[in-house]
């Protein structure tokens, strides 16, 4: 019925992927959005909150709620920015730095499993197509 519907098929795919990533990050007591955000912060310490939201393609209020959760878990610290007094820079705590290798390993395991199920070319081409669609619609 909805074979040609982009919304239906991407939403169904998103639900399946959400389950896989939820399982992967459950041992860290993190939701997938929190875990991806933390990984971005670990890879780029000191980003402004707005830069972080833009890099994750999410609204600033959504980013703020995720950061509130990470801060509550003692995984990030926000500090006044020397570049922009209205915003804060986001830094990982030592506890987050200690989790970094395990978070990356959990993420890599899901990616390996998906590549095995789909095949490397299909995985790569699908991600590239979805990014192009997201950019075109953005």
77-109, pLDDT tens digit by residue? 999 877 766 778 999 999 999 999 999 999 999
Q: For residue 1, tell me if it sits in a domain.
A: no
Give the pLDDT mean for 23-42. Answer: 96
Write the CA distances from 93 to 21, 38, 42, 76, integer angstroms.
23, 10, 9, 5
Q: Burial letters for 44-54: b for 16+ Cβ neighbours within 10 Å, e otherwise?
A: eeebbbebbbe
Question: Distances from the Cα of 47 to the Cαs of 85, 108, 115, in angstroms?
Answer: 14, 24, 31
Q: Is the pTM of this model over 0.75?
A: yes
Whether the Cβ atoms of residue 38 and residue 96 lie closer than 8 Å to each other: yes
Range of the domain at 74: 6-137
Encode 101-116 in three state secondary structure: HHHHHHHHHHHHHHHH
The label of the residue with tokens 């959400």 reads 18
Tens of pLDDT, residues 42-51 = 999 999 998 9
Distance between CA atoms of residues 69 and 134, nearest Å: 27
When divided into structural domains, the chain yields a total of 1
What's the rounded Cα separation, in Å, for the pair 51 and 56? 9
Check pLDDT > 80 for residue 112: yes
> What pLDDT, on a 0 to 100 scale, did the predictor assign at position 80?
86
Q: Report the mean per-residue pLDDT for the chain.
A: 94
CATH number, domain at 100? 1.10.10.10
Does some domain include residue 112? yes
The pLDDT assigned to 84 comes to: 63
Query: Does 41 reside within a domain?
Result: yes
39-73 pLDDT per residue, tens: 999 999 999 998 999 999 999 999 999 999 999 99
């Amino acid at each position: 019925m909805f074979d040609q519907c982009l919304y239906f098929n991407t939403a169904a795919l998103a639900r399946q992927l959400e389950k896989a990533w939820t399982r992967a990050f459950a041992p860290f007591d993190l939701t997938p959005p929190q875990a991806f955000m933390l990984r971005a912060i670990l890879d780029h310490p000191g980003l402004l909150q707005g830069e972080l939201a833009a890099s994750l393609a999410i609204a600033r209020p959504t980013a703020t709620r995720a950061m509130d959760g990470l801060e509550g878990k003692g995984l990030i610290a926000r500090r006044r920015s020397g570049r922009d007094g209205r915003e804060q820079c986001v830094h990982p705590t030592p506890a987050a730095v200690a989790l970094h290798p395990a978070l990356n390993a959990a993420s890599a395991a899901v990616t390996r499993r998906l590549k095995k199920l789909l095949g490397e070319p299909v995985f790569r081409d699908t991600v590239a197509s979805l990014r192009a669609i997201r950019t075109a619609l953005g």
